[in-house]
Amino acid sequence: MKNAVMQGFKLTSVEFQNNIKANKKIELGFSYSYNVKYSNNNTCIGEFTAKITDKTNPDEFRITVTGNGMFRFKQDTPKEQLHLSTYDDIFPYVRAFVTTLTSNAGIPPIIIPYIDISKKEIYRVEMDKNGKPAPNPDDFINPYADNN
């Protein structure tokens, strides 16, 4: 059995703003957030948010998509391993949705770049005042930044 097995996936939020004038070129900026909330019965919910904007005019072009996956995991699996494996399971669903959305909207399809979070500090697990994991929902990172 893998570290975590996905039991279900759903999109929880989609925002799409496209006010780009015809033949105008834009430069896309990407940022991601990934958090995992754990329960006492060996289940967790991973939440992945992708933001894609025009770097110079984010009010003209913006996509924000949030997807949640529910996972069952082995009891003694370290939280860092769960964070990484659940991210790898959720990312393709959000990526495919963004590509389909933009393609169906009549604009060139956007394929959001994969980021290997094992090399980033985004997967660090912080604890709340009750000793439970409390990921920061505003921990966005730029997949093109050299944050090694």
d(CA 102, CA 17): 11
Domain ranges in the chain are: 4-123
| Residue 93 φ then ψ, to 5° | -65, -45
Question: What pLDDT does residue 141 have?
Answer: 41
14-53 pLDDT per residue, tens: 999 999 887 888 899 999 999 999 988 899 999 999 999 9
Question: What pLDDT does residue 132 have?
Answer: 53
77-96 pLDDT per residue, tens: 898 889 999 999 999 999 99
- Is 95 within 8 Å of 111 (Cβ atoms)? yes
d(CA 122, CA 103): 30
89-140 pLDDT per residue, tens: 999 999 999 999 999 998 999 999 888 887 655 444 444 455 554 444 433 4
Q: Which CATH superfamily is domain 4-123 in?
A: SecB-like (3.10.420.10)
Question: What pLDDT does residue 114 have?
Answer: 87
Q: What b/e string do you get for 126-148 counting C-beta neighbours within 10 Å, with b at 16 or more?
A: eeeeeeebebeeebebebeeeee
d(CA 10, CA 24): 33
Q: What is the pTM of this model?
A: 0.77
